[in-house]
Copies of this chain bind each other. A is one copy, B any other.
Amino acid sequence: MRRRSTTLTEQELEIMKIVWERDQTTVRDVYESLLEHRKVAYTTVMTMMNILEQKKYLKKRLADRAYIYRPAQPKGQVIGDMVRDFVDRVFNGSAEPLLLHLVQEHDLSPAELEEIARIRRKS
């Protein structure tokens, strides 16, 4: 059988982005934010957020009438996991070929590269 993906799916990520930028939020908040871009049912958002809670991406806490949701893991961590998963799946774990694609197709200037190299040298 197909195994459940360990990283965030497309819709899950869309919701997590909203939660991360607010840090603290409700189903309604997220629902309204999503509505600005596309049609979606309130209950759909709730279901997704429940799944995200099961998957340990969100924590909820009952406050007054509605649950308040917060990220359960820092954004950098989660995104880092996604990057690692992508590098593993697509490039068998080696980051260099991905770098090559990036510099060749995503208009990264040499200056930006130098900048990155400098940061790297310091760490």
Number of A interface residues, CB 8 Å? 34
Question: What is the interface of chain A mostly: helix, strand, loop, or mixed?
Answer: helix
Quick one: which of A90, A112, A121 has the most chain B CB within 10 A?
A90
Q: Is the CB of A116 within 8 A of B103?
A: yes
Q: Is the CB of A96 within 8 A of B117?
A: no
A13-B90, A112-B96 known; A105+B83 contact, CB < 8 A: yes
Give chain B residues whose Cβ lies under 8 Å from the Cβ of A101: 79-80, 83
Q: A83-B102, A86-B86, A96-B108 are in contact. List 16 more A-B contacts (CB 8 A).
A: A10-B89, A82-B90, A83-B105, A87-B102, A87-B106, A95-B108, A96-B116, A98-B102, A99-B99, A99-B102, A100-B116, A103-B119, A108-B120, A110-B120, A114-B117, A117-B117
